[in-house]
A and B are shown apart, each in its own frame.
Chain A
Amino acid sequence: MNMIVPLSELRPGESGVVINFQGGPNFRSKLYPMGLAPGVIIRVLDRFQFGPVIIEAGGTRLAVGKNMADKILVRKL
């Protein structure tokens, strides 16, 4: 049930809680201020084959590159 998966594996309509990042401090500190931090609930709005994942986080809409979405770990809700 409480599976931890990369953000890129969530399908449109699915939600998750951000748990951790597979990236260095620079990578992480770029995401925090945009609303992606541990404990934050995100919802996937749209996802494209090779392109970015479009999510909603903290009341804003973000497009996250595929490479980045692979490194953001979330717990599926």
Chain B
Amino acid sequence: MAMKVVALAGNPNVGKTTIFNALTGMKQHVGNWPGVTVEKKEGVFEYNGERFLVVDLPGTYSLTAHSIDELVARNFLLNGNPDVVVNVVDATSILRNLYLTLEIFEMGLKNVVIALNKIDLAEKKGIKIDAKKMSKVLGVPVVPLDAKDGIGMKDLKDVIVAVAHGEVEETPIIPTYEPAVEREIEHISKCLEGTKLVSKYPVRWLALKLLQRDEEVMKLVERHLGQEGLDRVMTHINEVEERYGKAMDLVIAGQKYEFIDGLTHEFMSYGRAGGEPFTDQLDRLLVHPVYGFIVMAIVFYFVFKFIFVFGLPIQNWLAEAFTDFGNWLAPHIANEALRGLLVDGIIGGVGMVLSFFPLVFLLFLALSFLEDLGYMARIAVLMEGILRKFGLPGKAVIPLILGLGCNVPAVMATRTIEDEKDRLVTMFVNPFVPCSARLSVISFLAGLFFPKESALVAASIYALAFTVAILSAWLVSHFVKGESGLFVIELPEYLVPSGKALLLHSWERSKEFVRKAGTVILVGALLIWYLSNYPVPIGTGGSYAEKLGHLFGPYMGLMGLDWKAAVSLLFGIIAKENVISTYGVLYGTAAAIRSAMTPLQAYVLMAVTTLYIPCIATIGAIRAESNWKWAALATAYMITVASIVGILIWHVGLLLGWGA
């Protein structure tokens, strides 16, 4: 018998992932939904020996078809045949959350469980909810939860299993609209009668979606009834709206909230009003146009301190450990080719990259902390005014910050930006944001060449990269068509993040980095080792790598770099960590790298490595989120900018006498 499938659906930030983790524990797998780059989380839980597959759907406010996230969630609910749909509802904002719940009910699902989460917070706010009554009113089981503390999880499992086994008779409540709307629902339903569509989808849902001009449903109808059939329905809707003097979607949305309001009176009441909520008080400071920025600067300062102060010593220790291991191993291998492959290729290359794991982990930890704290949304609000001036939406700050970890998820995070133009521009400039792989290059070179002021030097590279990104956004936004500037974002309650969730989340993300290091980088390191040892070892001038490097050497000379830099940068295209691992292989030791370059050259190398091209994976992500043309354009643009910046730094540096 196939495993029963449990889908988790709900608004963003309601605690879906917390519930998912509590249900599945460590037995989870992160992948992608087929054909799109939306993250798909799957896990398994066991109950009396039976296994259940849990799927965490993307968090959405509704099930229209405006974003890929919504489309993924909606298609899974409609066509994925989940055995149980757990609709996670935030008890502190029932009104807004039930909008989605009603949409799910209107889809005709009769296997819904409502996980009424964050009841601890609701209680604190004086919101009283009678879950039993709520269940009776809504016609589906309601399980109160405090998922963060694991309270109610046992009940949730019991109910999920009962619903999965068909032991629960559900009568989800469906809103009735005013007669004019109901009449149209009936009329459209008649038009659709007898078509195949009606056997696949609930006809009331189809009719409602048509009244709201849902583009996906319009396409469906066109496919089944032809252009003419669709036109007939839409013309009819236009006429009705004309007569009525109001858009149907406006009426439907308004009445939905009215309906929800009526329902909640039956099971919910507000207790003492209390003073001004803590979150509002804090927001007075944190999104304040002056103090807010000061706080933000301080926050980012501590994030960087945190990463460098803890990360760098561990990184150095790991790097040394790998070198020592290689040195210890070398005499034990008789075969010269094998020794080179193992010590120089594998241990030298990958070892160097792996030593950056602590940095990456700490970075993700800091980012997840800010995210779960609720501070990320405040940053978006703070930045909207400024970023908009440069052609970026306030929400772009999230991909811009995520880019500090890795540009691949950052490019994917641009999908939270609804406006196409905003999204394209944000995506275009994102690769300029130095990812953790480039952090590894920057911190290595900064530590090696500027031991006393490494943090300052590293910070200057970050400042350079962000300046380039912002100016590029301003430039590019003038060339992309489309309107932009629709900004609306939820400001969640400030919450102390759960340490366990933070660690789990950061661990998963860091593993992703290592997985990349283990596959793409290994191939890269081995390729370099091959190219630099065949047909003859490097140093004789006859290796493939040298030939390749010499081809680009003269161009690199314009910015004070040599053919070895060309080779390293070339391999950096596979993944930015390769720049350092290639130097490692080409020079053998860090000391050799140190004596081969001046600090100015190292600085140019840092700047160019940061700006010159998105890595292969990032190019792939841009393509996936837009198209090849856009990815190619972004790549060509970066190469141009990096060349200009590299040449400028080198020559200005020489003029200022920093050449030695």
Q: Which residues of A contact B258 (CB under 8 A)?
A: 39
8 closest A-B pairs by beta carbon, nearest first, are A65-B487, A33-B62, A38-B254, A33-B61, A58-B95, A37-B253, A51-B385, A59-B93
Q: Mark B243-280, 1 if CB is under 8 A from A, else 0.
A: 00001011101101110000000000000000000011
Within 8 A of A (CB), among B395-440: 418
> Does A2 belong to the interface (CB within 8 Å)?
no
Q: Which residues of B contact A65 (CB under 8 A)?
A: 384, 394, 485-488
Within 8 A of B (CB), among A22-77: 25-40, 45-46, 48-52, 54, 57-68
**Given A39-B257, A51-B384, A59-B95: A28 in contact with B490 (beta carbons within 8 A):** no
Tell me, rounded to whole Å, the shortest Cβ–Cβ distance linking A51 to chain B: 4
Tell me, rounded to whole Å, the shortest Cβ–Cβ distance linking A68 to chain B: 6
Tell me, rounded to whole Å, the shortest Cβ–Cβ distance linking B621 to chain A: 25
Q: Which residues of A contact B94 (CB under 8 A)?
A: 59
Q: Which residues of B contact A45 (CB under 8 A)?
A: 280, 283
Main secondary structure of the interface of B (DSSP, over half): helix
Do A60 and B93 touch across chains, with their CB atoms under 8 A apart? yes
**Given A30-B418, A46-B283, A65-B486: A54 in contact with B381 (beta carbons within 8 A):** yes
Which residues of B come within 8 Å of A, CB atoms?
60-62, 64, 66, 92-96, 99-100, 212-213, 247, 249-251, 253-254, 256-258, 279-280, 283-284, 287, 289, 377, 380-382, 384-385, 394, 418, 485-493
Tell me, rounded to whole Å, the shortest Cβ–Cβ distance linking A74 to chain B: 13
With beta carbons under 8 angstroms apart, the residue of B93, B247, B489 that contacts A63 is B489
For chain A, which range describes its interface: under 10, 10 to 19, 20 to 34, or 35 or more residues?
Answer: 35 or more
With beta carbons under 8 angstroms apart, the residue of B60, B93, B254, B418 that contacts A37 is B254
Do A54 and B283 touch across chains, with their CB atoms under 8 A apart? yes
With beta carbons under 8 angstroms apart, the residue of B250, B385, B394 that contacts A28 is B250
Do A29 and B64 touch across chains, with their CB atoms under 8 A apart? yes
Q: Which residues of B contact A32 (CB under 8 A)?
A: 62, 99, 249, 253, 256
Given contact pairs A28-B253, A30-B488, a sample of 18 additional A-B residue pairs in the complex whose CB atoms are under 8 Å apart: A20-B250, A21-B250, A28-B247, A33-B62, A33-B64, A34-B490, A35-B99, A37-B250, A38-B250, A38-B254, A39-B254, A51-B384, A58-B93, A60-B93, A61-B279, A61-B493, A67-B486, A68-B487
29 A-B residue pairs with Cβ-Cβ distance under 8 Å, sorted by A, are A21-B250, A27-B486, A28-B253, A29-B64, A34-B490, A37-B250, A38-B254, A40-B254, A45-B280, A45-B283, A48-B289, A48-B385, A51-B289, A54-B491, A59-B95, A59-B96, A60-B93, A60-B96, A61-B491, A63-B287, A63-B384, A63-B491, A64-B487, A65-B394, A65-B485, A66-B385, A67-B486, A67-B487, A68-B485
